[in-house]
């Protein structure tokens, strides 16, 4: 998707402007249309906040209509390929396009219960959650009363909008919508970064099922060339890093037991703050290791 510079947006007429930003709020180009008058925007942040205010100032009806424009999660529209391109991408990011029959049933039950209680679809910024976390949010929010839940829905809509805007427009600033997950392997046996350590990066569901998100190896500085996750929120979920430490020390010709005490070292942790920086290093010898949330 080509990005539009903020400068260019600032020079657009209302029609062009609405065409460019009409998708930031689901099926609701009116937000962009209202905001057009407030040009020029010095920063992405100001543009974003102006859009939020436009929604906040809209009539209850318009807000309700915005809320109701959202599709169900893993619902009929998804199955029938009737989602907006943005929604389709977002739902796929959390794996909602490949649910098991059992999961599908769970979502269906929750969608129905939610619609019955609140007369609106369940809205959540799925890019900030793994599947388990979405289901947990679903259960919790079903216990809300209607006004609290309407407010929660708007908050989630604003989060979705921030992410869409961030992907769409290049400005002098960035919205704070991204987290960062990094690692580092330090060899305390040699007192040096551990290079060439193979790492498998997985998401581990509450059910115990594990899905590989990536494989990489440490470079000369003991780090991965790129962060494990960056330029996106870190979905709230449980992760596991699996470090092939035994193979590393074998390559280093370190004297080892047979089999080595440490083969693959698994580090399992959960992310609760999708916009946070999680640094999860491994300090290791053939006989010991430690890890911590670093920065």
Residue of 177, 212, 178, 181 lying closest to 198 (CA atoms): 212
CB of residue 3 to its own copies, shortest distance in Å: 30
**Which residues would be at the binding site for its own copies (CB under 8 A)?**
133, 186, 188-193, 221-222, 236, 238, 257-266, 268-270, 272-273, 283, 285-295
**C-beta of 177 vs 244, nearer to its own copies:** 244
CB of 219 to its own copies, least distance (A): 12
Q: Helix axis angle, 131-142 relative to 101-118, nearest 10°?
A: 30
> Which one, 120 or 247, has the nearer CB to its own copies?
247
Q: How far apart are CA 290 and CA 281, in angstroms?
A: 8
Q: Which is nearer to its own copies, 65 or 210 (CB)?
A: 210
Cβ proximity to its own copies: between 9 and 236 the closer is 236
Which residues have CB under 8 Å from 50's CB, separation 6+?
35, 38, 41
Using the minimum distance from each CB to its own copies, give the nearer residue, 30 or 289.
289
Rounded to a whole number of angstroms, the minimum distance from the CB of residue 129 to its own copies is 11
Closest-CA residue to 155 (of 125, 120, 117): 125
In the complex, the smallest distance separating the C-beta of residue 71 from its own copies, rounded to whole angstroms, is 27
E strands in 151-281: 169-170, 179-182, 185-187, 192-193, 198-204, 210-217, 229-232, 237-244, 264-271, 277-279
| Min separation Cβ 265 and its own copies, Å | 7
């Amino acid at each position: 998707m080509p990005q539009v510079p903020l400068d260019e947006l600032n020079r657009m007429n209302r029609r062009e402007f609405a065409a460019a930003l009409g998708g930031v709020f689901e099926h609701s180009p009116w937000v962009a249309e209202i905001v057009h008058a407030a040009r020029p925007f010095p920063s992405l942040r100001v543009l974003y906040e102006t859009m939020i205010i436009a929604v906040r100032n809209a009539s209850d009806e318009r807000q309700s209509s915005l809320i109701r424009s959202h599709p169900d999660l893993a619902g009929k529209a998804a199955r029938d390929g009737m989602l907006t391109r943005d929604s389709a991408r977002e739902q796929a990011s959390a794996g909602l396009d490949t649910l098991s029959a059992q999961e599908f049933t769970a979502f269906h039950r929750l969608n129905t219960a939610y619609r019955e209680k609140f007369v609106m679809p369940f809205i959540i910024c799925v890019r900030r959650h793994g599947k388990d976390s979405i289901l947990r949010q679903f259960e919790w929010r079903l216990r809300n009363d209607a006004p609290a839940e309407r407010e929660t829905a708007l908050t989630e809509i604003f989060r979705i909008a921030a992410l869409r805007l961030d992907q769409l427009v290049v400005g002098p600033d960035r919205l704070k919508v991204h987290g960062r997950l990094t690692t580092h392997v330090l060899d305390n046996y040699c007192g040096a970064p551990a290079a060439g350590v193979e790492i498998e990066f997985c998401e581990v569901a509450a059910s115990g099922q594990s899905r590989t998100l990536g494989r990489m190896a440490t470079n000369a500085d003991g780090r991965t060339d790129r962060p494990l996750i960056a330029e996106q929120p870190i979905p709230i979920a449980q992760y596991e890093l699996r470090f092939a430490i035994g193979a590393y020390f074998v390559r280093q010709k370190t004297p080892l037991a047979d089999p080595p005490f440490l083969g693959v070292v698994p580090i399992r942790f959960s992310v609760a703050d999708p916009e946070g920086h999680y640094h999860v290093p491994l300090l290791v010898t053939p006989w010991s290791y430690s890890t911590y949330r670093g920065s």
